[in-house]
Structure 1
Amino acid sequence: MRQLLAVRGMPQYYLAATLARVGDEMVAFTLVLLVLDRTDSPALAGLTGAAYALPAMITGPILGAWLDRTPYRRTALGINQAVLGAVMLAMLAVVGHSSHWMTPALAAIAGVTLPMVTGGFTSMLPSLVPQPLLVRANSLEAASFGAATVTGPAAAATIAAAVSVEAAAVVIVVTATCSIFAIMRLPVLPAGAAATGESFLTSVAGGLKHLARTPRLRASTVATTGVMVAMGILLITLPLHMAQLGAPRSAAGYLWTALQIGSVTTAVLLGRFQSRWRPERVVIVCIAACGLAIASWSLAESLAVLLVIVAATGLLEGPMLPAMFTARQQYSPTGLQGRVGTTAASLRVGAAALGQVAGGLLVPAVGTHTALLLVAATVLAASCFGWLAGLGSLKEETRVAQSLG
């Protein structure tokens, strides 16, 4: 760990990335609570969450192509945080006090640059870290994501319960502002190694083509994207399920925290052992194990019991995230790192958005117990589809090996 943090720019990188991710993790939960509290509409809450995430499906590949060509990465990351802070302030004035369409419209504005947080930071690692340290860097990167997903929902839940959901929105603005100052301290990196003479539109499509044509990377991407559909449904389900356990809606934030505490624990402790197995296999096995564990969530009759079960599920999930990062790096040439990272992230974010829309319509109709079982089934299906997606031809494997040199 000391060796990794001694690399120039790495302490600043992890500080900036984690601050940005904490704010991002607070947004999804805070938006749901804000809309539910002011409008009592699960459908509008799901639509608002989807509007925050869906633009990333379009902007992710575009931003990734730009990242592979430009040295101005810090500027893009800072703009993302500035836009997020401005939109959250506008949300406080708009939600419940104006036409419903304005709420998802504002969320969509903040979502345009969202891939910069979910994929833009991670794509910088191969340029910052020597190859022998990448496995450890990925484990610490997963810990950064985990720390954010632990802190974000818990902070939002605690502030919403102790003060108000509006106060939680203000904290997001403060976090975004602090992250901008941290981003300014990142080292300036050279432009990526995008192909000389390649048109920008061709470059934009490069990441998606590589994801689609590389069997092992495709397996990891399909599986982790499918999981995000389930997570989107879960984001709507858990606050509504709290009534069944005699707890306030905001208590759902502690469940997300418990999940990520378990996940961070195994991501850090087992990170050094992951190089023994192919990363896409780690991803698929972890997702299948999580699906089986989530199937038991609906059996919990108290919040305390559910917290324990959710934390145990997180332990099973932990190795998945660093393995996903390793798959992107191991099966992608350097010149595609930005595009692969942001494109894969945009697919995951878009899938979560679709899940939130589905959850907003589905949960009131079938109830939260059935919705939890559907989430488990969706996670298991994601693992199966990921395995099937990895069944590529020998010709594809040979082509990828040649492209990686």
Structure 2
Amino acid sequence: MRELLGIRAMPAYFLAATLARVGDEMVAFTLVLLVLERTDSAALAGITGAAYALPAVITGPLLGAWLDRTAYRRTALGVNQAVLGAVMLSLLFITGHGPAWTTPALAAVAGVTLPMVSGGFTSMLPTLVPGRLLAEANRWEAASFGAATITGPAAAATIAAAVSVDAAVLVITVTATLSIFAIARLPALPAAVTADDREPFLTSVVGGLKHLARTPPLRASTISSTMLMGAVGILLITLPLHMTTLGAPRSAAGYLWTALQLGSVTTAVLLGRLQARWRPEHIVMVTVAAYGLAMTTWPLASSFVVLVVLAAATGLIEGPMFPAMLAARQQYSPVALQGRVSTTAASLRVGAAALGQAAGGLLVPVIGTHAALLAVALTLVAAAAVGRLSAFTTHQEPAQVTSP
């Protein structure tokens, strides 16, 4: 870690990326709480969460192609955070007071540049970090995501319970603003694709999608991790509603996310070197399947405390998945495709989570939270199986990422 932080840009990178991700992780949970509190509509909560995430399905590939061509990544990252802050403030005045459609419409505005938070930052790593340190960088990149997913829901739950949901919205705005100052300290990076090598823009966009679809191990990793996010979307709606069956307030669901991610970050950091010993797509599929099997115990929890313990144990199992997913994108993609691959894959994950939230908002009130938790667990097992089936084709060796 010392050698990694010795690279001048990396402290600013991790600070900027983590601040942006903390705000993003607060958004998903806070939107659900805000809509449930003001409208008591699980369907509207699911639609609003989906509206926040769904635009990324379209914009992810477009942003990725643009990122590979531009030297203005810092500006794009800063604009994304400014838009998020403005939208969250607007939601305070609109949700529950204006027409129902205005809440998901505003959420959709913030979601347009959402892939920048994950893929936009991550795509910078192969340029910022020498190839020999990429595995180490991936471990700490996973820790950055994990720290955000630990801090975000817990902060939202605590602030909502101790003060109000409105206060949680204001904290998101402050976090977004602070991240802009950190982003300003990042170095300007050259375009990954030079003017002489550029394809037509739409051809470039399609190129990223084709690479994901035609590279078997990358395809397997992407399918499994994308289906996982669909299950997570259902879980975002299920957990706040499930709290009442355990005698806890809806906001307590944030602590379950924290327990899950504490376990995940622990093994992501301690076992991140697994990707140097085994193929990363295999690690992704095995951990997703194990994650699902562990989650089959959740509906059996008789109290909130027991469910917290089960969530932490499940997180320990899931931890190696994220650094392995990043490694798959880097090992099986050339440098010129890193932006497109990162943001396109991120957009697919975000889009799957959006569909999961929309489905959860409609189905959970009908089938009940216990059945919904079991459905999430089985979806994760299926995700690993589908990913494995998608990998059955001609073997392809990793495309090594060149050092900057």
- TM exceeding 0.5: yes
Aligned position for 1:222 = 223
Aligned residue identity for 1:140? W
Aligned position for 2:30 = 30
Aligned residue identity for 1:342? T
The 8 Å contact of residues 331 and 399 in structure 2, kept in 1 or not, is answered as no
Q: Note closer, same or farther for the CA distance 1:255–1:188 as it changes in structure 2 (3 Å cut).
A: same
In the TM superposition, what is the alpha-carbon distance from 1:401 to its structure 2 partner?
Answer: 5.5
In the TM superposition, what is the alpha-carbon distance from 1:391 to its structure 2 partner?
Answer: 1.1
| In 2: Cα distance, 1:359 partner to 1:393 partner | 37
Question: Residues 189-213 of structure 1: CA distance to partner in whole angstroms, max 9, x if unpaired?
Answer: 1111267141001011111110000
In the TM superposition, what is the alpha-carbon distance from 1:8 to its structure 2 partner?
Answer: 2.0
Aligned position for 2:339 = 338
Aligned residue identity for 1:7? I
Tell me whether 192-201 or 244-253 shows the greater mean CA deviation: 192-201
Aligned position for 1:57 = 57
| In 1: Cα distance, 2:401 partner to 2:55 partner | 31
Aligned residue identity for 1:336? L
Q: Let me know the Cα RMSD of the aligned residues.
A: 1.3
Aligned position for 2:253 = 252
| In 2: Cα distance, 1:182 partner to 1:401 partner | 32
Unaligned regions of 5+ residues in structure 1, if any? Answer: none
Aligned position for 2:177 = 177
Matches within 5 A, 1:1-400: 1-193=1-193, 196-394=197-395, 397=396
| In 2: Cα distance, 1:388 partner to 1:102 partner | 41
Aligned residue identity for 1:199? P
Alignment size in residue pairs: 401
Aligned residue identity for 1:166? D
The 8 Å contact of residues 193 and 336 in structure 2, kept in 1 or not, is answered as yes
Identity score, percent: 74
| In 1: Cα distance, 2:372 partner to 2:212 partner | 31
The 8 Å contact of residues 23 and 152 in structure 2, kept in 1 or not, is answered as yes
| In 2: Cα distance, 1:156 partner to 1:206 partner | 39
Aligned residue identity for 2:188? V
Q: Note closer, same or farther for the CA distance 1:197–1:183 as it changes in structure 2 (3 Å cut).
A: closer
Q: Note closer, same or farther for the CA distance 1:403–1:121 as it changes in structure 2 (3 Å cut).
A: closer
In the TM superposition, what is the alpha-carbon distance from 1:403 to its structure 2 partner?
Answer: 11
| In 2: Cα distance, 1:197 partner to 1:366 partner | 51
| In 1: Cα distance, 2:52 partner to 2:274 partner | 36
Question: Residues 233-269 of structure 1: CA distance to partner in whole angstroms, max 9, x if unpaired?
Answer: 0000000000010000000000000000000000001
| In 2: Cα distance, 1:275 partner to 1:163 partner | 46
> SS in structure 2 opposite 1:68?
helix
| In 1: Cα distance, 2:392 partner to 2:120 partner | 29
Aligned residue identity for 1:113? T
Aligned residue identity for 1:248? P
